[in-house]
Structure 1
Amino acid sequence: MKRFDEILHNGYSQSFDITRIIFHEKTEHQELVIFETPTFGRVMALDNIVQVTTRDEHVYHEMLTHVPLLAKGNVKDVLIIGGGDGGILRETLRHASVQHATLVELDRAVVDLSLEHFPDISNGAFSDPRTDLIITDGVKFVAETDKRFDVVIVDSTDPVGPGEVLFTESFYADCHRCLKEGGVLVTQNGVPFFQGDEVTNTYQRMAKSFADNSFYTAVVPTYIGGFMTLGWASDDAGLRHVDVETLRARFAAAQIKCRYYTPDLHKAAFALPQFILDLMRK
């Protein structure tokens, strides 16, 4: 294998030159390949879909984590569904207020191989005493847990294969059940230029359980197609409209240095292009 071709979208693909294949095997749940590239560094793909690269992982992980945590403020308990590479966990634990971070991952191999081949992504987060790593089905966990969380972050694959069940109405309802009052759910929600149905379906399904739901955006180079939408749901509509001065104060108090996230970008990320607003109203 000298090139990796990701064919995620009909009629359009992206291709990576490979300088070295590090790992390629079918795990219990999915096909997993890790390889080196001259442009994006080290890459992990699941079922031929790129999940993470060492060059741009910070964009996705910072925006999926700091937006809900800083909007909510003083977050103590966080649930992460998926995210076996540890990037969301790393960013979550940078908040001193966080007392417990529960990460639920379906595939143990993703965690083990990430620790071996992408150690800088988790950066010791799995060894933090605040971390509780649970290897199980995320759908089963949110349906059965008696724990309650300030924020739930769903760092999932696209809604194909093992990730499909994380985009259902029943899953969102169970996430709502295990949130504390006024808690926030955020989700990976695809690239709407190519995956518009994900926006429409998620918006309609989340609305069945939450009083306020919408999306915010980030641009991650390897998630091709322009804007990536990140799903947002809460019963507290005010959290989506926290003023930038408050965000700046919370960010400064947290003493976190980011490569992509800023409080001003946080505020602006909720201003959606018309085509995304149209997808929400279909």
Structure 2
Amino acid sequence: MDQKKKWHEKLYCHLGQYFLIEELLYKKKTAYQKVMIFKNSIFGKVMVIDDIVQTTERDEFIYHEMLTHVPIFSHGSIKNVLIIGGGDGGILREVCRHKNIENITMVEIDIDIINLCKKYFPNHSKNAYQDSRLKLIIDDGLNFTKKTKEKFDLIISDSTDPVSCGKNLFLSEFYFNCKNCLNKNGIFVAQNGVFFLQKNESILTYKNLKKHFCDTRFYQANIPTYYGGIMIFAWGSNNTELYKNNLQNIKSRIKHTKLAFNYYNAKIHMSSFYLPQYILNILDES
């Protein structure tokens, strides 16, 4: 591939964004997926899997903070966390910042993604893989959740889009397994793409989650890397009260941890559960 070549993301057939590849750093196929890593003057280093942008240096903090801290501060007493996917290490980094968390299990299907991100995206994990609380398992998330006897307070599914090996993490069976892996007041969250352009996938997720959780909803964040509008995150719990926090409660929990963030804060937390009306209308009809 020539340097400084325009590359077109392939997630959507008829539209999408272009990235200027200013320096190609890596391009090979692992045992599971095609991987490309390149430099871009706006987004920094960019990782592409199966022709779909997965993460960038410039705005990864938005995605990782929102997928991690919204459920952690909503719950208020997370001790055991399961991360499915997340080989870039960003979710692990954010989870490890919470010193009250006792055990962290991470299940990633592709060891090559972990190793590549340690090399090309070291700030994503910031040495979180060295945390003594971590148990790293190389396995398919669907298989692990089906077989494990462990219980968790929080499950974070940080998957690719529902293509290739990421498909298993959007199945009703996977959500059922996750429900069975959660403690009584546990929370399941997952990335669910850009609703405006992935409406059908979001509706399917909503229907499948509702089969297994009493409380099913989405929350949102605006992440420049992901083309097409706001990104939504799926939420499932059998405690219908956990998302109903007041602002002062969230502020107090954040203050107690003494953590600082680049995107997440108490007001962002509260507002993230308020979705645009077009999304609410479609979900009500589904």
TM range (shorter): over 0.9
Contact 1:199 1:279 in 2 (8 A): no
The 5 A counterparts of 1:95-134 are 95-134=98-137
Cross-structure match for 2:196: 193
Pairing 1:216–2:210 present: no
Q: CA deviation at 1:3?
A: 2.3
Distance in 2, Cα, partners of 1:20 & 1:133: 32
Of 228, 232, 247, 2:231 maps to: 228
Give percent identity, aligned residues only: 43
User: 2: CA distance between counterparts of 1:4 and 1:37?
Assistant: 11
Give me the CA root mean square deviation: 0.8
**Which digits, 9 at most, give the CA deviation of each residue in 1:205-238, with x for residues without a partner?**
0011111010000111011111111000001111
Q: What is the alpha-carbon distance in structure 2 between the residues aligned to residue 108 and residue 278 of structure 1? A: 41
SS in 2 for 1:258: coil
Q: Distance in 2 between matches of 1:275 and 1:97?
A: 39
CA distance in 1, matches of 2:150, 2:282: 34
Q: In structure 1, how many angstroms separate the alpha carbons of the residues matched to 2:147 and 2:275?
A: 35
Query: What is the TM-score when the length of structure 2 is the normalising length?
Result: 0.97
What CA distance in whole angstroms lies between the structure 1 residues aligned with 2:14 and 2:194? 15
**2:251 and 2:201 mapped to 1: Cα distance?**
31
What SS class does the counterpart of residue 194 from structure 1 fall into?
A: coil
Q: Could you say what secondary structure the match of 1:112 adopts?
A: helix
Q: How far apart, in 2, do the equivalents of 1:66 and 1:207 lie?
A: 23
1:77 aligned residue: 80
Distance (whole Å) between structure 1 residues aligned to residue 282 and residue 51 of structure 2: 27
Alpha-carbon distance, 1:14 to partner: 0.8
TM-score, reference length from structure 1? 0.98
Question: In 1, distance between residues paired with 2:252 and 2:13?
Answer: 44
Matching of residue 268 in structure 1 with residue 250 in structure 2 = no
Q: Of the candidates 172, 175, 181, which is equivalent to residue 175 of structure 2?
A: 172
What are the ranges of 5 or more consecutive residues in structure 1 without an aligned counterpart?
none
Structure 1 residue aligned with 2:261: 258
Structure 2 unaligned blocks of 5 or more: none
1:60 to 54, 59, 63: 63
SS in 2 for 1:52: strand
The DSSP-based 3-state class of the residue aligned with 1:9 is coil
Shift of 1:9: 1.5
Of 5-14 and 46-55, more deviation after overlay is shown by: 5-14
1:93-120 Cα offsets, whole Å, 9 max, x none, are: 1111111111100100000000111111
Deviation for aligned residue 1:7: 2.0
2:52 alignment partner in structure 1: 49
In structure 2, distance between residues paired with 1:279 and 1:177 = 29
Paired residues in the alignment total 282
| Post-superposition CA distance 1:67-114 (Å, at most 9, x none) | 000000121100000000000000001111111111100100000000
1:24-35 maps to which residues of 2 (within 5 A)?
24-35=27-38
Partner of 1:247: 250
Identify which range, 47-56 or 198-207, moves more after superposition: 198-207
Q: Please say if 1:89 is aligned against 2:85.
A: no
Is 1:184–1:234's contact at 8 Å kept on the other side of the alignment? yes
Q: Give the C-alpha shift of residue 198 in structure 1.
A: 1.7
Give the counterpart letter for 2:113 in structure 1. Answer: V
